Each structure stands twice: as structure tokens, then as C-alpha cells.
Amino acid sequence: MSKADEVIETIDDGDFSDVDNLIHESLREDDDQTQFSLAETLMSRGLSVQAKTIYDHLMINYPNEGQILSRLAEIAVSDGNSDQALDYISQITPDSPAYAENLLVSADIYQSQGLYEVSEQKLLTGIREYPDEEVFKFALAEVYFDENKFSKALTYYDMLLDMDIKNYSGISIVLRKASSLAGDGQYEEAISEYEKLNALELNEDAQFQLGFLYNQVKNYNKSITILETLLESNRDYPTAYPVLAEDYLNIKKNSDAFKYAQLGLNLNELDDRLYQIAFDAGLAEDSSEAIKIIETGIKKVENPLPLIIKLSDYYLTKGQFKANLDLLAGKDVSNNPKLTWNLAKSQFETDDIEAAQENILLVLDDFKDNLDYLTDLIEILRSTGNNDVLKPALALYLKQDPDNESMQSLWDQLQ
């Protein structure tokens, strides 16, 4: 029995105490081919540290052997030492039997460093040099997929499917194609691919994606069916709740939308979209409760601006101008034209005319094509008697709506 056999036998027995000593004995007594086979076996079992000891020893006699260099590069990659891995790879020449593996490993390294173009070139070289090796097509598809270049990824996933390869390295090519179609905005085609998946492939993430896609094509009932099935198996899948709540909101089942928005907030109290949906759905059920929820969101979420705008708009539609002023008090609205307009309107309705004029003029450039804004601006300017600005404001209005009799009459009076 060779020392290499003793190493494997010891590992099979679950005894690792003497493995290192036996490996060193193998390096002294076994021939090079036996040592290499031992290293390959250790690599296949995930014992890369022990395998490296043997590869390093063999490098002394075979400094240019591509297979050894390639294995050492793999180990360096797993250890996070990309520079060392590239050093090994650079020594493998195109005439080496290990050159194909060299291209794959180097592509993987460059991809891990975010150097996608270099990785892409390595794999394209592999496709040209080894056209029958599907691994290069798969690897290039994965590079494009990771880089969100979905249309390019689809080209190579389709090549694999045309070769009747539906799974590769434990990855479903059909699922990858479906995800790429979704990422490329081809929602109907993506749905068709998702529906080809078997029960095992249609995991929780795939179910969510399918439900989301049905939401995007406005098939809300189908989306609801899929996402509720997902939540039956996993109530703690947070991203399903905003989509499901939105589905119910879109089919005007406000109580269900409100319920799922609240359930989602129990899992993620920082999701501003859930607060918005809960507010919209809750207004029909209990407006005071809906307001409490959005006020909570304003205090909790990282960027509360969309929630503030939504609540501010609500107050204006309900004529609750004092409530809107309280909402905006102490908040810097100078960088948000919509809130500045809302503030001006509330100030005007509560008789703070000069402040209203000052604020509404600040956002003239932002809303000069908006007739609702121009209507408010004209009303405020009439109240202050600022005819110098009122005339050009009326001119802007009549340019867009020349048939408005009341505005034309006001224009004639000023003339």
C-alpha cells in the first residue's frame, strides 16, 4: 500500500490526527504521479490546505506544469489571494493542456474583482478555442447576468438550452433565462419561462419573481394567488408583502391591502412603500388610523420625503391647511418644489399672503407648465396686487389654455 493510500484510508476512517505526517511520508516515498493523484483526491474532498502542500512540492520538479499551476491558482482564489492566483495563471501557456482551465480560473478571478470586460475577453477566447466546451458559454452567460447585461446573457443561455442543457453546476438554465427576460423588461416572455419550471426549481425566490411579474403586467389576481401561496409556506418573506398589498389596492380590496401592508410592516418597519400603501388603503377604512400609520413612517424611514408629500397632498385635498402647516413646520422644503407649492397654498388659505407669494414664486420655473400651479399663483398675486408679476403669469396660463374665459377676462382688465 502506498503512503497516498494510507492518507485516504486514514481520512475515510475519520482520523485526521496523522494525516499531515502521512502526506510528508508520501512526498518522500511515492512517485510523482501518485502524489499528484493524492493531491487531486484531497482537492475533490475540500482539503485544499493539504493538497497545496503536495502541489507546492511537485512544482519544484515541474515548474511549468499547467495542471499544477491551475490547481494552485484555484486554491489561491479560495484563500482570497487573487494576485497570487493571477501570478500562477500567467505562467500557463496556450499550448498547455491546462490552458482551458487557465482561461476559466482567470475569468473567475477578474469577475470577482469587478473587471467584467477582462473576464468577458477570457471567456470569449475560450469559446473560440474550445467551441465544444459548454462551460465557457455558461460562464459567459453568468458574467453577463451578474453585470445586468440580460440581453447578452440570454444569447448564451439559449445556446445551452438549444444543446438540451437545462441545468449546469446545480443552476437551472431555464430559471436563469426567465430571470434574464424579466431583467430585460420582457415580462410576458419571462412569465412563460417561469411557468415551465418544475416544483423544485420554482423555489421561494422564483415564486416571488413570478408573482411580481404578474403584478407588472397588471394580472393582479394571478399575482395574489402566487404570493399568498408563497406566504403560506413562509410568512417571513418580506418583499412579498408590498407587492401583494399593492395587488389588492389595485383591485380595490382596501381591507386586504391594508392587512398585508400592516403585516409587512411587522417584518420591516423601514419600508416606505408599505407605509404609502397602508395609507392609501386605510383612508377608505379608517382615515385617522391611516394618518397615524403614515406619521409613524415619517418618523422611522430613512427617506421620509415621499411620505411627507403624500400626507401633505392629502391635507390639501381635504382643505386641512393648518394641519399641513403643522406637518411642514420645521422641515426644510427649499429643495422640494412640490412641498414649497403646498406650503404656499396653505399659507394663502390661512391668510399669510406675503409668505405665500414669496414661496409660490420660488418654484415658478418648476411648474410654469402646470395649469393648477398657475391658477394658485394667479390667485395669490391678485390678492397681493402684484400686477407686475400677475401679467406674465396670466400670459403663461393663456398660452396653454387660451379658451379659459375667466382668465381672458382678467387679462383684458389688466390691459
CA angle 342, 343, 345 (to 5 degrees): 65
Query: CATH classification of 320-415 is 3.30.2130.10, yes or no?
Result: no
Asked if pLDDT for residue 13 goes beyond 80, the answer is: no
- SS3 breakdown of the chain: % helix, strand, coil, rounded to 5? 75, 0, 25
Amino acid at 33: Q
- In tens, the pLDDT along 198-219 reads 877 888 999 999 999 999 999 9
The 8-class DSSP code of residue 171 comes to E
74-78, 124-128, 408-412: lowest mean pLDDT where?
Answer: 74-78
Asked if pLDDT for residue 93 goes beyond 90, the answer is: no
Candidates 297, 302, 366, 300; CA nearest to 334 is 366
- In tens, the pLDDT along 315-330 reads 999 999 999 999 999 8
Asked if pLDDT for residue 188 goes beyond 80, the answer is: yes
Asked if pLDDT for residue 134 goes beyond 80, the answer is: yes
Give me the pLDDT at residue 313, please: 96
65-74, 220-229, 334-343, 391-400: lowest mean pLDDT where?
Answer: 65-74
Give me the pLDDT at residue 340, please: 95
Candidates 146, 200, 138; CA nearest to 173 is 138
